Structure 1
């Protein structure tokens, strides 16, 4: 197999550390950061504990930083690299998770855009009801589909400008929150549990940020200039995502002192809007809604690519119909049947976090234990006879299933979800830790073998 068909061509490796930082910064300066802050507060933590949870959760971006370094070293994107850990057929497991991840975030962005429009309707004195919510969903969903006609270069330019405008407006809003925050109330919040409060808060933030983004990290790292120091790739990836996320989550925590209902509201954006001066609220929400559209299109196209990688090849029209139905049906359920955005969002992050935490733990353990001398491209070739790497596959299954056994939520009640594991997301940590243990056992059986040759 020609390595040129596996690795990114040298001429395409044009990303600098600064560009890497900006890409991750732009991807994480969205309005959802405030929602994460509200979710942290819902764990009944003190102000200091909430800030610690936000900081540690944001620093989960060190995981994508690590994955990006591997991508730079090898010049290979994420899901090609993961073939070594799972086998060419077994790799369909993380590919399937990636598709679910993309479709889930696409649906969340559509829901968020719809709720933003519903909040803005109040400016023109339109009463909130099922009809106006349906109209908002049609408008935003329609814009997403229409913007799919735009070229990638045009979308990138739009996203760049929106990121700058959104970043400046966000800074202004954070200043407003700092001024309006009830600091006495914030400092007087009682101390919560470190085990059943802080740790689950960290895990739910990490699930939706560092752990989730790790699936795309090597896709950026592989395009970094060859003479770039690996440490620069690591820190620009990690801090590019962590800095804006932490600042926004801190803003969400402060906003919760002004609007205590933020963490329990069915539409948190209504609460946010009511806390802002109307002039900046309108501009901010319009820019936030506009910024979601290019993200939706990128997710839609990425979802189709993941389907193709799994082996499901469909035309662009069929893909649009399949994913269009999914991302409409999910918002319809959340907006009209369930009626609670935050609880459904947390449920999604909980399930996603358990699956992805075990995946990235196995991916990194495999890299450290068996690929220190580099990846054998023969294992990454889609025609490789190494169809299944049973060590990675079995480790993922055991870790993921066990994580669910220690988890309970609105639709699942694990048999071991008792005591400190009750009503929280500690199953994410269980999944990651057990995956690491399983990989150590695999290492003991394989000894110092450099590359698996499972077939």
Structure 2
């Protein structure tokens, strides 16, 4: 046993099932350092799917510099939000949507938690679909046809690995993510270098600027929704074991750096590759389309890289979705909730791959519509963090009238009203293949930035409603008047 393993608590060790559920982690079991977040978020974003985002930028008419701007601002900006929300994990020692009971109430939190759970299950399903396509391509190199039977075999094989890592839990995931960063990060770099040899540099450099409304703003909204916003509801899940004295700035910094580096490289690779592969965004199987641009001897390493990188993303999603089920009140051990989500993931993926056979339409709509709910929730949570002095550990777990966060009938109506208004605002200005809001006109007809408007509205409304209640209610809601609060201090 290594020295590091000896320092880890019995309940959270690599390659053993994590024993904790959503209860706050006590000081005696806190361990690790903010630097581990670099590995967690780097590995979560090395999936080849990032190249597809680059194809989306090119298809929208962006030139090289506009694409770079969207890649950097969309990736880094959205993961700043993930990093800030992650700080609450070391304050309260509980998962993200369990901490959310503090601002929303033990019953009022059910709505945001349900949206979060659906988002995570959707993300893990999309990621597993993409990984299964890659594995199906790898089997094709062995002479096996892409029949429904082998499609299902590929899907189940990927899903089993994802579920296994999710079952084992936090410490195993941190170990897996660090190993995946080195192994698949280096392999991805090799693949990227080969893809760059296919670039038509004259075409890329000569491309004229695209429109700022239907081009830059539209794609920026997609990149933000598809990168950091999709992880905002999971940040604290991976910081709840960190010692209370861990630096909040370090948590934000390592989160942003770990996620942004691979995302910018992959997105820009997609931009360069689109000069030779303009139909990337319309491909039924984008993994195969990308692989066809590589020399034959690179096919196997490329597909292995694709599978491994995508599994490193899906394992985080299924772990967090299991925690969300517990926060919804499902009375099961944590590992059993992972199994439930695994079954739903396989069923959804099988439908898309064998029945619907459509990838980008559902993908775009899924991102945009769920972003309305997630960003409005994040806005309320961030405002709550600005006022918070600590979390009551018992109040986070007790869901009845005895909980400090029971408020009125289990609902903090200020937070719930602000959240719902933010969602409504977002939907009014949202454009997607499945739904178009009645106010999505002018610049919003092509930018789909409605969820950012929803963020502003939720934050402002919640702030004003809290202030309207008077300073005492502000402090009580934030924990400032409590003595001996076991949840910790809300300091950076």
Deviation at 1:88, TM superposition (A): 1.2
The answer to whether the aligner puts 1:162 opposite 2:176 as a matched pair is no
Distance in 1, matches of 2:340 and 2:165, equals: 17
- Please give the residue correspondences for 1:386-425 in structure 2 after superposition, counting only pairs within 5 Å: 386=407, 387-425=410-448
Distance in 2, matches of 1:331 and 1:137, equals: 8
Deviation at 1:76, TM superposition (A): 4.5
Quote the residue 1:450 is aligned against: 474
The answer to whether the aligner puts 1:113 opposite 2:131 as a matched pair is yes
The count of aligned residue pairs is: 448
CA deviations 1:140-183 (Å, max 9, x no partner) are 34555677777876666555433321111111122223333112
The answer to whether the aligner puts 1:53 opposite 2:70 as a matched pair is yes
CA deviations 1:400-425 (Å, max 9, x no partner) are 12211222322223222223222542
2:277 to 245, 254, 259: 259
Q: What's the Cα RMSD here?
A: 2.9
Deviation at 1:365, TM superposition (A): 1.4
Quote the residue 1:91 is aligned against: 109
Deviation at 1:304, TM superposition (A): 3.2
Distance in 2, matches of 1:150 and 1:19, equals: 18
TM-score by length of 2: 0.82
1:40 to 57, 73, 81: 57
Distance 1:366 1:226, change over 3 A: closer
Question: 5+ unaligned residues in a row in structure 2: which ranges?
Answer: 1-21, 479-492
- Please give the residue correspondences for 1:269-418 in structure 2 after superposition, counting only pairs within 5 Å: 269-293=287-311, 295-297=313-315, 299-314=317-332, 319=337, 322-368=340-386, 370-371=387-388, 373-375=389-391, 380=396, 382=398, 383-384=403-404, 385-386=406-407, 387-418=410-441
CA deviations 1:205-228 (Å, max 9, x no partner) are 222221222222223333333443
Quote the residue 2:8 is aligned against: none
Quote the residue 1:186 is aligned against: 204
Distance 1:323 1:227, change over 3 A: closer
With 323-332 and 30-39 compared, the bigger mean Cα shift is at: 323-332
The answer to whether the aligner puts 1:441 opposite 2:464 as a matched pair is yes
Tell whether the 8 Å contact from 2:60 to 2:215 is kept in structure 1 after alignment: yes
With 53-62 and 13-22 compared, the bigger mean Cα shift is at: 13-22
Quote the residue 1:8 is aligned against: 25
Deviation at 1:116, TM superposition (A): 0.6
With 354-363 and 401-410 compared, the bigger mean Cα shift is at: 401-410
Distance in 1, matches of 2:170 and 2:383, equals: 35
With 384-393 and 407-416 compared, the bigger mean Cα shift is at: 407-416
Distance in 1, matches of 2:24 and 2:198, equals: 52
Deviation at 1:111, TM superposition (A): 0.6
Distance 1:155 1:426, change over 3 A: closer
Distance in 1, matches of 2:210 and 2:363, equals: 23
Distance 1:198 1:156, change over 3 A: same
SS of residue paired to 2:474? coil
With 28-37 and 266-275 compared, the bigger mean Cα shift is at: 28-37
Quote the residue 1:248 is aligned against: 266
Deviation at 1:62, TM superposition (A): 0.7
Distance in 2, matches of 1:430 and 1:131, equals: 45
* Structure with higher helix content: 1
Distance in 2, matches of 1:401 and 1:346, equals: 19
Distance 1:227 1:138, change over 3 A: closer
- Please give the residue correspondences for 1:153-232 in structure 2 after superposition, counting only pairs within 5 Å: 157-232=175-250
Tell whether the 8 Å contact from 1:166 to 1:284 is kept in structure 2 after alignment: no
Distance 1:452 1:212, change over 3 A: farther
Quote the residue 1:79 is aligned against: 97
The answer to whether the aligner puts 1:428 opposite 2:444 as a matched pair is no
SS of residue paired to 1:17? coil
With 344-353 and 9-18 compared, the bigger mean Cα shift is at: 9-18
Tell whether the 8 Å contact from 2:221 to 2:449 is kept in structure 1 after alignment: yes
With 240-249 and 280-289 compared, the bigger mean Cα shift is at: 280-289
Distance 1:161 1:212, change over 3 A: same
SS of residue paired to 1:180? coil
SS of residue paired to 1:260? coil
Distance in 2, matches of 1:316 and 1:359, equals: 24
Question: 5+ unaligned residues in a row in structure 1: which ranges?
Answer: none
Tell whether the 8 Å contact from 1:109 to 1:296 is kept in structure 2 after alignment: yes
Distance in 2, matches of 1:265 and 1:316, equals: 38
TM-score by length of 1: 0.88
Deviation at 1:231, TM superposition (A): 1.8
